[in-house]
Chain A
Amino acid sequence: MTDDPFFERLRSDARTLRHQPDELTLARIRARIQAHLERAEPSVADLLAAWFRPLIASAAALALIAAIGTSVVRSNEDVSIVDTDIEITMAGESWRVGD
């Protein structure tokens, strides 16, 4: 790994300086990692919620548009009743109310 004789000697003596965590420590870290991943991992409920959330949002948007549309149509209808000419026929004679 190196052509340097000094570093080669030093490296062979320094190898034992590598930190060696014991099995208990390793098991503890593994458990902590696992716990983190489980917390981060989405559950079935999360997955379903993630699937349905945009559908519900779309349905809500459609409902809102439909409600607004209906109210606009209704208000137009109200206006049209007022604006429409009314024809009254009595005893063979016709009277028209409006424009």
Chain B
Amino acid sequence: MSDDDPLEARAIARIQQGDAGAYDYLVSKYLRRVVSIAWGVVRNSHDAEDLAQEAFVKAYQNIGRFRAGEPFGPWIYRIVTNAALDALKHRTKFKHETITDSEPAARRDDATLPAMSNEIEQRIDAAIEELPEMQRIVARLHLVEEFDHQQIAGMMDVSEGTVRSHLSLARKKLREKLADLYGDVDD
């Protein structure tokens, strides 16, 4: 995930010196991924757009605190993940509940699902969405967004052990739900 992008480092330095136009480079580079991460958590295109915007504005406002030489990606991913988790907590149905493993995932907005080309993708998506909330989010970040344990821990402000634990539980459930598709794969 680490990438030494001299243009990125230069853009950050320019923004820190007051050149707001340099922020376009960072927005263009990370926007697609940021929207995808937000969407994966809230499962709603409109909310994902709002969250992406909020994350970039927040990052810009705090760019002075950003350490030179660090990649921008993990920082913006962390901001958007936290914003999305907060949004999830504040949704009406989770109003008086914390996000725990005891709650089934129930947040899909079917009208905004990406077009899935085949049955396998639909089955995987459904299986992930049926997982309890934290397992669902961790599984999505790991399997769909392809972040490793350490990155997910940083993005969600939890320990790596917590991520591994959620993934282990998610794996067990996904293995059961998708047994007919992946029965031949060794453990």
Q: Which residues of A contact B185 (CB under 8 A)?
A: 5-6, 9
Binding site secondary structure of chain A: helix
Give Cα A7 to B175, complex, Å: 9
How many A-B residue pairs lie within 8 Å, measured between CB atoms? 107
Interface size on A, residues (CB 8 A): 31
Is B120 touching A30 in the complex (CB atoms < 8 A)?
Answer: no
What string of 1s and 0s marks CB contacts (under 8 Å) between A28-43 and chain B?
A: 1110111011101100
Known A5-B186, A19-B48, A40-B61; contact A26-B125, beta-carbon cutoff 8 A: no
Q: Which of B31, B36, B45, B178 contacts A10 (CB 8 A)?
A: B178
Most buried by B among A29, A32, A38: A29
B185 shortest CB reach to chain A, Å: 5
- Report the count of interface residues on B (CB-CB < 8 A): 42
Chain B residues whose C-beta falls within 8 Å of the C-beta of A99 in the assembled complex: none
Closest Cβ of chain A to B101, distance in Å, is 19
Q: Which residues of A contact B116 (CB under 8 A)?
A: 16-17
User: Distance in Å from the Cβ of B139 to the closest Cβ of chain A?
Assistant: 9
